[in-house]
């Protein structure tokens, strides 16, 4: 997984923080309807990867030095996701995820959300 966020800097500036991670986990179906068109899942996972701050550049344009370093990261995540089956093969869904990341200098909690479209063969 690739995740890029921005940390605010100064009045209008921002510093990019990118994470490259791999994740292994388990999802458990919590609720589904009788016709199997709606599913709600909860999951937990472990993750590990690498984080880079400002793509390795420690000096900013104004001459300031970034104290946060690139680092190997590890942690976990909890996920809640839902799928609505539009047909036998196509599902529309949404998910929320809270990631707990350690080993870095830029923050330990990251909230993610999104929508997805699945096609199953």
pLDDT in tens, 12-50: 789 999 999 999 999 999 999 888 899 999 999 999 999
- Can you tell me the distance from the alpha carbon of 83 to that of 19, in angstroms, rounded to the nearest whole number? 27
Q: For the whole model, what pTM was predicted?
A: 0.76
- Indicate left, alpha or beta for 102 from its phi (over 0: left) and psi (-120 to 50: alpha): beta
Domain range spanning residue 113?
2-119
- How confident is the model at residue 66, as a pLDDT? 86
pLDDT band of residue 9 (cuts 50, 70, 90) is confident
* Dihedral, 17, 22, 23, 24 alpha carbons, nearest 10: -170
- How confident is the model at residue 92, as a pLDDT? 96
Q: How many domains does the chain have?
A: 1
Give the pLDDT confidence of 43-98 residue by residue, as tens digits. 999 999 999 999 988 888 888 888 888 999 999 999 999 999 999 899 999 999 99
């Amino acid at each position: 997984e690739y995740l890029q966020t921005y940390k605010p800097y100064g009045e209008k500036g921002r510093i990019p923080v990118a994470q490259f991670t791999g994740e292994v986990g388990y999802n458990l179906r919590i609720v589904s309807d009788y016709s199997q068109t709606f599913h709600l899942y909860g999951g937990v996972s472990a993750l590990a990867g690498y984080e880079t701050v400002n793509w390795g550049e420690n000096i900013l344009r104004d001459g300031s030095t970034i104290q946060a370093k690139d680092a190997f990261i590890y942690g976990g995540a909890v996920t809640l996701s839902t799928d609505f089956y539009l047909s036998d093969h196509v599902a529309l869904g949404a998910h929320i995820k809270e990631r707990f990341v350690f080993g870095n200098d830029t923050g330990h909690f990251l909230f993610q959300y999104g929508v997805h479209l699945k096609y199953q063969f």
